[in-house]
C-alpha cells in the first residue's frame, strides 16, 4: 500500500504557468441539491473553485439555484426543472445532457436525494455522458444494487462512499466494510473498473489495477456534515484540470485532510466546520507551491 504524502503530491501537481487562462483548467459541472439540502451543492461548488477548476457550473433544481447563487459569484448556474417535492425531475435531462457533452468533468450526487427521478437521471448520466465522472452520496445510493452500471462509464469513474454507502453498494453490513476497508475498496475498484475512495479515519483510495493508497492527513474535525461534499468538489476540480481519476482522488484526499490539520492548530476540532476547510484550501496549496 502506498502512503499519500506531500512528496507524492509534488510529483502529480504542477504550478500554473504565467500565460494560462481559465480554459486551460477545464469545465466542471456539479449536479447536486434538492429542497432541504441546499448546503451540499454550495460547498461542493465552492470547494471546486478553491481547488482550481477553470469554469464551474452548478446544475441544480431551479429553487436551489435561487437560494445559493448569491453565494457563488464566481460560478455559473444551470437551473433545472424540479418535482413538487423539490428534487430534480427526470425531464431535466433534455437540458442537462447536451450541457454535459461540453464539459470536462462532472460531479453528481451531493444532496440530490433518492427518488425514481434521480435514479433515472443517474443512470442516464452514467450511460450517456462522455466526460470524467465522480459519483458521491445520493448518486451512490441511487445505484445501490446495480453497481455494474459503473462499467458503462465512458471514462474511469470515481466513487467516494463512506462506510454506510459502501455497505449499500455491496449489499453487506457496515461491520463487514469496517473489518477490512482496504480489501473491500480494492475488490470493488477492480470489479467495476472505478477509482474507489473509501472514506474513513484514514481514507483508502483503490485504483482499478489494484493499487492501493493510504492517506496520511485529516482528523476528527472532518466528522461533520459537508466534509464529503467538499472532497467531491475538490476531486472534480482536479479531474477537470486534466489529472487522471486516481491522481485526482489521491491529491484531493490529502489536501482535504491537510486543510483540517492546519485548522486544528488554532481551532478546536469540535467547532471546526466544513466551510472552514474550504477557506483553508488555498493555504495548503500555497505550502505545496502551487
- The answer to whether the annotation marks 228 as part of a ligand binding site is yes
**Cell numbers representing residue 112 in the block:** 440530490
How far apart (Å, rounded) are the C-alpha atoms in residues 136 and 40?
Answer: 11
271 labeled part of a ligand binding site:
no
For the chain, how big is the Rg over CA atoms in Å?
A: 17
- The answer to whether 203 is annotated as binding is yes
Check the annotation: does 99 bind a ligand: no
Torsion angle (degrees, nearest 10) of CA 61, 62, 64, 70: 140
200 annotated as belonging to a binding site for a ligand? yes
199 is in an annotated binding site: yes
User: DSSP letter string over the chain?
Assistant: -EEE-HHHHHTT--PPPTT--GGGG-EEEEE--BTTB-HHHHHHHHHHHHTT-SEEEEEEEHHHHHHHGGG-TTSEEEEE-B-TTSSBPGGGHHHHHHHHTT-SEEEE-TT----HHHHHHHHHHHHH--SEEEE-THHHHHTTT-GGGGGG-SS--EE---HHHHHHHHTS-HHHHHH-HHHHHHHHHHHHT-EEEE-STT-EEE-TTS-EEEE----GGG-STTHHHHHHHHHHHHHHTT--HHHHHHHHHHHHHHHHHHHHTTS-GGG--HHHHHHHHHHHHHHTT-
Q: List the binding residues for AMP.
A: 199-203, 228
Q: List the binding residues.
A: 40, 111, 162, 199-203, 228-229
Q: List the binding residues for (6S)-NADPHX.
A: 40, 111, 162, 229
Amino acid at each position: 500500500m502506498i502512503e499519500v504524502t506531500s512528496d507524492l503530491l509534488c510529483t502529480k501537481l504542477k504550478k500554473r504557468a504565467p500565460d494560462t487562462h481559465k480554459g486551460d483548467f477545464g469545465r466542471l459541472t456539479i449536479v447536486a441539491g434538492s429542497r432541504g439540502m441546499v448546503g451540499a451543492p454550495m460547498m461542493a461548488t465552492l470547494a471546486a473553485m478553491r481547488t482550481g477548476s477553470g469554469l464551474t457550473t452548478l446544475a441544480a433544481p431551479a429553487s436551489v439555484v435561487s437560494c445559493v447563487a448569491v453565494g457563488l459569484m464566481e460560478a455559473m448556474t444551470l437551473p433545472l426543472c424540479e418535482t413538487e417535492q423539490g428534487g430534480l425531475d427526470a425531464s431535466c435531462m433534455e437540458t442537462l445532457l447536451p450541457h454535459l457533452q461540453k464539459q470536462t468533468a462532472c460531479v453528481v450526487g451531493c444532496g440530490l436525494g433518492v427518488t425514481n427521478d434521480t435514479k433515472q437521471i443517474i443512470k442516464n448520466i452514467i450511460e450517456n455522458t462522455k466526460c470524467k465522472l465522480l459519483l458521491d452520496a445520493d448518486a451512490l445510493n441511487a445505484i445501490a444494487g446495480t453497481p455494474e452500471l459503473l462499467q458503462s462509464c465512458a471514462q474511469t469513474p470515481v466513487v467516494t462512499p463512506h462506510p454506510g454507502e459502501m455497505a449499500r453498494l455491496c449489499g453487506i453490513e457496515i461491520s463487514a466494510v469496517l473489518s477490512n476497508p482496504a480489501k473491500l475498496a480494492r475488490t470493488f475498484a477492480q470489479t467495476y473498473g472505478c477509482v474507489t475512495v473509501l472514506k474513513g479515519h484514514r481514507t483508502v483510495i483503490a485504483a482499478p489495477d489494484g493499487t492501493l493508497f493510504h492517506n496520511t492527513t485529516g482528523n476528527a474535525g472532518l466528522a461533520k456534515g459537508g466534509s464529503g461534499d467538499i472532497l467531491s468538489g475538490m476531486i472534480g476540480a482536479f479531474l477537470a484540470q486534466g489529472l487522471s481519476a486516481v491522481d485526482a482522488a489521491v491529491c484531493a484526499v490529502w489536501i482535504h485532510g491537510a486543510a483540517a490539520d492546519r485548522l486544528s492548530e488554532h481551532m478546536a476540532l469540535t467547532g471546526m466546520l466544513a466551510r472552514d476547510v474550504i477557506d483553508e484550501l488555498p493555504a495548503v496549496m500555497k505550502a505545496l507551491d502551487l
